[in-house]
Amino acid sequence: MAKPPSAQFLGPSVFLAAVAAALLSAYALNPRLTPSLAITFLHRQDLPLALAASLLLALCALRPRPAPDPRGLTLGPVLWLGILAALAAWAGHHLVLMGHDLSRDEQMANFDAMIFASGRLVAPLPAGWVGHEDALNTLFMLPVADRIAWVSGYLPMNAAIRALLFPLGMQAVVGPLAVLAGAVALWGCARHLWPQDLSCATLALLLYLGSGQVLVNGMTSYAMPLHLAANLIWLWLFLQDRRSADLAALGIAFIAVGLHQPVFHPMFAFPVLLGLVVRRDWPRAALFLGGYALIGAFWFAWPTYSAALTGTPLPGGDAGYIKRLTDELLHGQSGGLPEMIANILRFFTWQHLLLLPLLRLGLTGPARRAPMAGLAGGLALTLGVMAVILPYQGHGFGYRYLHGLIGNAILLAVAGWHALGPERAAWNGLVRRASVAGLVVVLPLQLVLAHAFYAPFASAARLIDRSAATYLLVDPAAAPFAGDLVINTPDLTNRPVRLLADRVDAALLAQLCRDGATVDRLPDAAYAPIRQYFGQPAPAENIAQARPDAGGCPPP
């Protein structure tokens, strides 16, 4: 006899809270473990969310009563719900995240978009800056020596899509539009998988629209919202099993592989395509194998081509991916297991309250059959690969490296609910109450936490924008990730031009001070809210104060 739904519903969330508390205790009791950004997020965001989820699910599980299945939705209402979610993401970009691109991933997407919108693939380095470009912050730029031009080291499709809207100043709608496209495609996948059960598509949409990771990452400039939308569109086309749909899926694959880094979409698609080999569907398998070989060859060559435009070839003459992968495999990162546990915990605390308990049901039975086995395989493959090569995910909401596979998790969860048959009536009341609780309590809490993280950086950036100086020095040691405040337009027409203080030497300072230019420093008060968020005291001395030659222009 199956466990009562209240027990299956509540247990996984209580487990999340226990894991969060255990991780924090381990770091507090073992000084040899170095706290990372993931642990900061665990303390400031994920533990409160896990505790709130546990409490809410306990309340929702009281007196469970049978209820009818969710009402089936046609395409019209799905479009309206997707549009509302897109509008919420667009508003959140301006209100919650203060219109700020915090991470270098976000900044590089818009940096490249500015270049592409000008009709070029790379931007020439402005005169006088050759040899001094490190002061402008070259983190995540294409790593070449003796550069004469620049572009980011990421693949270009996220930026290229944003470039289409850049002349209109509407690049911030790309993430929200991806949220809309993902909602429609997910509904289409569920309708195809369960054509006789319209409520399955409704539940899938409910889990998607109730995901804080989907909504808040949709407010950013990350490529991940596009990854999720592209993967779901690809899957919708693949499930149709028609030659024209397969060719369209390969077109989507070309975009998806080139969005950001080349590994993410293949880790989603490969386990699904493996089902073609298992079924011995050789014509389709050959079509996709050939298509992905061409796609891979094109994008693998892209960085080498871009490097030739920016100066010298990449080290070793390769595209950089093999070297990066080899370095990660040989050197790795310490604390990888705790980091991955924190990442997985973070993933679930930013999802709909239902996802984990329903996913648990989906993985116990439906995941053994195609195409669900391929969706489960994508989750397992991505977690395994990232645990080995890059446990540290950096910034982002939820676990960003699983973002493109949120659709996998949702469809598996729906499969688990569908497999309950008549027993699912006992779950439906919990589904309704948990969905309302998530919308009323958890989602607003997630928005508050997201704002609290972005606000100190956005305020510092606005203080920089208000400076009357020609050049402004930012001390990267003054606060965590303070160096990310140094971002400029490719042609350096922005004022003030932002510079890393530790990369400004006497020769560059003398060059900057010609022709009446002014050089100033970002005051320490701008860093204080960032340090406070990370729980760090003020440094004993900052680099700009320690180096008199980087303090500003001498008086005339």
Least confident range from 29-43, 119-133, 417-431: namely 29-43
269 and 371 part of one domain:
yes
Most trustworthy range by pLDDT among 45-59, 127-141, 188-202, 358-372: 188-202
Per-residue model confidence (pLDDT) at position 497: 95
pTM: 0.92
Q: What is the pLDDT of residue 321?
A: 59
15-48 pLDDT, tens per residue?
Answer: 666 666 666 666 655 545 555 788 889 888 998 8
Round to whole Å and give the CA distance between 533 and 457: 10
Query: What pLDDT shows up at residue 304?
Result: 84
Task: Indicate if 290 and 403 belong to the same structural domain.
Answer: yes
CA quadruple 409, 412, 418, 424: dihedral sign: negative
How many beta carbons lie within 10 A of that of residue 141, not counting itself?
20
Residue 64 CA to residue 6 CA, distance in Å, equals 7
- Domain assignment present for 330: yes
DSSP 8-state class, residue 175: H
pLDDT at residue 487, as a whole number:
95
Alpha-carbon separation of residue 154 from 263, 301, 302, 439, 483 (angstroms): 12, 13, 10, 35, 19
Pick from 441, 448, 347, 449: nearest CA to 56: 441
The 10s digit of each residue's pLDDT in 156-173 is: 999 999 999 998 999 999
Question: Do 254 and 380 have their domain in common?
Answer: yes
Residue 11 is assigned to a structural domain of this protein: no
Distance CA 236, CA 184 (A): 10
Which phi and psi (to 5°) does residue 150 adopt?
A: -145, 155
Q: Which residue carries 């991916």 as its tokens?
A: 321
- Model pLDDT, residue 543: 46
DSSP 80-144: HHHHHHHHHHHHHHHHTSTT---SHHHHHHHHHHHHHHTT-SSEEPPTT-TT-GGGG--TTB---
195/262 same-domain check: yes
How many Å apart are CA 53 and CA 61, to the nearest integer? 12
Asked, for residue 106, whether it belongs to a domain, the answer is no
Report yes or no on 8 lying in a domain: no
58-80 as b/e: b if 16+ CB within 10 A: eebbeebeebebbeebeeeebee
Examine residue 498 and state whether it is found in any structural domain, yes or no: yes
What are 259-273's pLDDT values in tens digits? Answer: 989 999 999 999 999
Is residue 114 one of the residues assigned to a domain?
no
Tell me the percentage of the chain whose pLDDT exceeds 90: 59
Average confidence (pLDDT) over 392-413: 95
Q: Is the pLDDT of residue 555 over 60?
A: no
554: DSSP letter: P
293 and 350 share one domain = yes
CB 399 within 8 A of CB 346: yes
How many domains, in total, are found in the chain?
2
E-strand spans in 407-500? 471-474, 497-500
Residue with the bigger pLDDT between 235 and 69: it is: 235
Distance of CA 61 to the CA centre of its chain: 32
Classify residue 512: in a domain, yes or no.
yes
Confidence at residue 18, expressed as pLDDT on a 0 to 100 scale? 66
pLDDT exceeds cutoff 60 at 327: no
Residue-wise pLDDT for 48-101, tens only, equals: 898 898 888 888 877 777 888 888 888 999 999 999 999 999 999 999 999 999
Strand partners, 519: 471
Rounded distance between C-alpha atoms, residue 37 and residue 335, angstroms? 12
**Is residue 373 located within the same domain as residue 474?**
no
Q: 442 versus 39: which is more confidently predicted?
A: 442
Quickly tell me which residue has 């024209």 as its tokens. Answer: 244
Pick the residue with more confidence: 245 or 146?
A: 245
Strands of the sheet with 471-474, listed across from one edge: 497-500, 471-474, 519-521
Between residues 299 and 7, which one has the greater pLDDT?
299
Same domain, residue pair 403 and 472? no
Confidence class for position 549, pLDDT limits 50, 70, 90: very low
Same domain for 242 and 178: yes
If asked whether residues 482 and 378 sit together in one domain, one would say no
* Mean pLDDT of the 527-536 span: 92
Q: What is the H or E stretch that residue 519 is in?
A: strand 519-521
Segment holding 521, helix H or strand E: strand 519-521
DSSP 8-state secondary structure symbol assigned to residue 148? S
Whether residues 237 and 384 fall in one domain: yes
In a domain, 305, yes or no: yes
Note down the domain range covering 313.
Answer: 71-83+173-334+346-424
Pair (391, 496) in one structural domain: no
Query: Can you give the pLDDT at residue 110?
Result: 95
Same domain, 403 and 300: yes
